[in-house]
Structure 1
Amino acid sequence: MVAVFKKIFLRDLAKLKTEIELYRDEQKIWHAEKQITNSAGTLCVHLIGSLNHFIGAQLGNTDYIRKRDLEFLPDSVPRAELLKRLDETILVVAQTFDNLTDAQLEEEYPQLLFDEKVSTNYLLTHVVSHLNYHLGQVNYHRRLLDN
């Protein structure tokens, strides 16, 4: 299962990179309009924070400290910087999965999820679905607002 999780996370992070690269107008990455409250850039920063926290810090023992509130501030990080941060996150995710065993997936995750104890397997399933939820939003945002 570790190999399956690694493959899916890396595939979907590559897709997120592609979505950010596909914006014709770089400024649109940070555009929010009407009831679309989170820009693609905001969602990307949020996913980077989430993955570095739940996978990197908690499972990979990195020194990453998440500042979740800052992930949702309106910002204009240049595309090149977003892509650099995504590449760094991809490396953290890959290295963490390289050092994870299938037996560890059944162990209790080191942090509560919504005030509940869960297995690492459960947590990773939750995080990959969270990644895909926001990846779909980024894709839709790009196609809708970057015409």
Structure 2
Amino acid sequence: MIIKSLQSLYNRDLNKLKAEIEAYQQEENLWKIDQSILNSAGNLCLHLVGNLNHFIGAHLGNTGYERHRELEFSLKNIPRTELIAKIEATISMVDSVLAQLPEEDLKKEYPLVVFEDTMTTDYFLIHLIAHLDYHLGQINYHRRLLDI
């Protein structure tokens, strides 16, 4: 039951991410920073895709994804079409991995210690949605402030 809810929430919010990236009127503004806005929307998008592919894909789905977190914040000027393709691939990956995850595994310990202590898989999957939504809100504000 909760897996269907998680799939629905990830699908909804990753599609919102896609819509935000598509909503930029000027593609170059995806990479704009200004004063105290130090992370561009493009870099936040790369970070979200990398984060989900690492924690859901690699650690729950054994996809073989190798994360290079520093590049999520240092790469610049990736074409919008490539960002959209990465988001779409992430939507498919999350849906596929969650569809194959047995419901009873949600109460098991997540296979990696991320914070200072262990946590259940369902707890961490909910945390990842909150993390996605936090940065999604930042991207929305970034677009409305800097895409002018």
- TM interval, shorter chain, is over 0.9
Counterpart CA distance in 2 for 1:116 and 1:65 is: 23
TM-score (norm 2): 0.97
Relative to the length of structure 1, the TM-score reads 0.97
Checking the alignment, whether the CA contact within 8 Å between 1:113 and 1:123 is kept in structure 2 is: no
Letter in 1 for 2:13: D
Residues 1:6 and 2:7 aligned together: yes
After superposition, the C-alpha distances for 1:117-146 in whole angstroms (9 at most, x for unaligned) are 110011111111000000000001001111
How many residues are aligned here? 147
How far residue 74 of structure 1 moved from its aligned partner, in angstroms, is: 4.4
Cα pair 1:49 1:66 within 8 Å, conserved? yes
**1:23 equivalenced with 2:58 (yes/no):** no
Q: Give per-residue Cα distances to partners, 1:97-121, cap 9 Å, x unaligned.
A: 1101221110010000223211001
Gaps of 5+ in 2: none
Could you tell me how far 1:70 is from its partner in structure 2? 1.2
Identity among equivalent pairs (%): 48
Aligned to 2:60: 59
Q: Does 1:84 align with 2:107?
A: no
Report the secondary structure of 1:91's partner residue: helix
For 1:32-47, list aligned pairs within 5 A.
32-47=33-48
Q: What is the root-mean-square deviation of aligned Cα atoms in Å?
A: 0.8
What is residue 101 of structure 2 aligned with on the other side? 100
Partner of 2:76: 75
Q: What letter matches 2:102 in structure 1?
A: T
- Indicate the residue corresponding to 1:127 in structure 2: 128
Distance 2:70 2:43 in 1: 11
- Render the CA deviation track for 1:47-76: whole Å, top value 9, x for unaligned: 000000011111111010111111110411
1:140 aligns with 2:115: no
Equivalent-residue separation in structure 1 for 2:142 and 2:30 (angstroms): 9
